[in-house]
Amino acid sequence: MDAYNVEPIESVEKSKSKTTKTILVVDDEPDIRESVKMILEMNGYSVVMAINGDDCLEKVNEYKPDLILLDIMMPGTPVTEVVKKIQDIKIAFMSVVRISDARKRGLCAQGNIVDFFQKPFNVAELVERVELILSE
d(CA 32, CA 25): 9
Q: Which stretch binds other proteins (CB under 8 A): 3-11, 12-20, 30-38, 75-83?
A: 30-38
d(CA 46, CA 112): 20
**Torsions phi, psi for 118 (to 5 deg):** -80, 125
Beta strand pairing call for 67-71 and 46-50: unpaired
Cis before 120? omega within 30 = yes
Binding mask 87-106 for other proteins (x = CB under 8 A): ---------x-x-xx-----
Name the residue nearer to other proteins (CB basis): 57 or 108. Answer: 108
Using the rule CB under 8 A, is 108 a contact of other proteins?
no
List 58, 122, 131, 132, residue binding other proteins (CB under 8 A): 122
- Given the rule CB under 8 A, which residues bind other proteins? 29, 31-32, 34-36, 38-39, 42, 96, 98, 100-101, 119-124
